[in-house]
Amino acid sequence: MVQDREGPLIIEPARRGTNDLPTELADALRTGEFHQVLRLAIGHRGLSLARLRAHLALRGVQIGQSTLSYWQRGLRQPEVPKALPAVRALESVLQLPADSLVVLIGPRSARPRGHQAAVSFYDLRSGDVGSIVDKLLTDLGVLPSASHSNADLELLSVHDTITLDAERRQVSIRTRLVVRARRHGPDRYVTVYSGDPGCRIDDVEIITAEGCRVGRIRRHPGGEIMATELLFDRKLGEGDVHVFCFEMRDDSGAVCPGYYRMLRDQCSSYLLQMQFAAEALPARCTREIRARDDAIPVETEELPCDTGGVTSGYFRDPGPGLAGIAVEWN
């Protein structure tokens, strides 16, 4: 156990990973609540609340001992964005990975903005969306909580191109994926599409190009969600690399607020491009990474939109989580 010893207070760097953390704390960082992680981390560090407050003060953060007590007991939640400096300072003092506490706070929402095309099955979803997706996958003969066909495919690269019209609506999503078989046998891939509010999911069309063809489709009109089985022309052998491409055509939604891809596992590279109509350019585009659909962004970067109306967001080694571009309009 890392102990805080009496004597001069020393600012130590934050941890960069979870390998050297106790199992209970490492598990809580992945699946727990903010107060649970905070309580476990304080205990692991061997700090009293008074000592923790002194460490925070060295980092220029003044916070009451009672507030820290409320936070670790779950009686209050840090307010966003006001409390972000204090939470990041806690990560440093407690030697936790950067942004590991930040992703556990913030407003909760039933669903992220924009579309999601699931690289693998959702376990980063929330609320009704999750239950709808689970039902659609079950209808396709896939058990979301068990081993499934996508689990046999290692995701190497994804390239999404989103096209928007003059009404600022998304009209198509073209996706190219590069996968490698983890073992012998995979011959299909299941993708989940979630439309913008107002989407007529029954009218959404999926077009395949190289490397796959459309299999079974399941739709949920009330949830604006569709699950599609993409069939390969052969069973992949272990280690085989396969490239396939498909396009979702949907112009039935409202003004597009952005696009997010949900990643169940880590992906080597993800390129997201958005093509805007010349007469309807956005006011701002922001590249974002989120740990979950109901968490605040852990990484943001404002993106330029070139003279051709294209903005590009590149993500290296993203996931698990959501990677995407938020769009603001004039």
Residue with tokens 């913030």: 106
Average pLDDT over residues 161-181: 94
Which domains, ranges and CATH numbers included, belong to the chain?
23-104 (1.10.260), 116-328 (2.60.40)
Average pLDDT over residues 291-319: 88
The pLDDT tens digits of the residues spanning 52-97 come to 999 999 999 999 888 898 788 877 778 767 788 899 999 999 999 8
Question: Residue 307: what pLDDT?
Answer: 85
Which letter does DSSP use for residue 115 in this model? Answer: B
pTM greater than 0.75 (yes/no): no
Type of residue found at 142: V
Neighbour count for residue 261 (Cβ, 10 Å): 25
The whole-angstrom separation of Cα 22 and Cα 147 is 27
108 has pLDDT over 90: no
- Taking all residues of the chain, what is their mean pLDDT, rounded to a whole number? 81
CA atoms within 13 A on the CB side of 33: 11
The pLDDT tens digits of the residues spanning 193-211 come to 887 777 788 889 999 989 9
User: Burial code of 183-202, b = ≥16 C-beta within 10 A, e = fewer?
Assistant: eeebebbbbbbbbbeebebe
Question: Residue 220: what pLDDT?
Answer: 83
Which stretch, 263-267, 272-276, 291-295, has highest mean pLDDT?
Answer: 272-276
pLDDT band, residue 134 (cuts 50/70/90): confident
The whole-angstrom separation of Cα 86 and Cα 97 is 15
42 has pLDDT over 60: yes
Residues of the chain with pLDDT > 90: what percent? 37
Question: Residue 163: what pLDDT?
Answer: 96
